[in-house]
Homo-oligomer: A and B are copies of this chain.
């Protein structure tokens, strides 16, 4: 038997997670190719956040395996492949917007082709480079996190409710960012409640339902 030429970017087999022995999401099987988006839908408490944290490696799966580009990854490999945008913005309130991006790029590496100020302009924060993070509104903080994502070299984006707190123009921005990212050979998981317009790209759907 010959291996398939392109293993999927992400593949989960039999993936399950339990908290205090109560299953949060059941065994899941799915895969994600480059150029695809996976929409993770489900009501409040269905386990979307938990799933993304497991995939990012912040939580340990109870059962099953996760493969990235066909192999079960080392932590460092996984870190290179994954960019995670969670509920917490990872911003230092006392540093300016640009200094925050500086640090995060030093930590995660960055695409050499994109200057930091250009990324801030992309997310609509031009002019806020020297504003302290504590002075940004809820939506502006979210946009700053999006700029970090835009700078990241990782092909796989894990986005937890990226639309929350954004205005209409911001939602549009997220969709455009995703489209470009996928066109360049990336892939993304997006959790959403279905109240927002999904990005206009090749999309699969994963329904989560609160485990009984």
Contacts and interface: CB of A to CB of B under 8 A. Distances in A.
Interface string A42-56: 111110010000000
User: Helix, strand, loop or mixed for chain A's interface?
Assistant: loop
A73 interface: no
A27 interface: no
Interface string A168-191: 111100000000000000000000
Residue with the greatest number of chain B CB neighbours at <10 A, chosen from A43, A49, A196: A43
Interface string A9-50: 000000000000000000000000000000000111110010
Contacts of A169: 43
A110 interface: no
A190 to B, nearest CB: 15
A111 interface: no
Interface stretch (A97-105, A112-120, A134-142): A134-142
A203 interface: no
A132 to B, nearest CB: 11
Contact of A139 (B44, B136, B142, B167): B44
Contacts of A44: 137-140, 142-143, 165-167, 170
B139 A43 contact: yes
A150 interface: no
B45 A140 contact: yes
A163 B195 contact: yes
A168 B143 contact: no
A166 B193 contact: yes
A212 to B, nearest CB: 11
B193 A195 contact: no
Nearest to A141: B44
A43 B164 contact: no
Interface of A: 42-46, 49, 87, 136-140, 142-143, 161, 163-171, 193-196
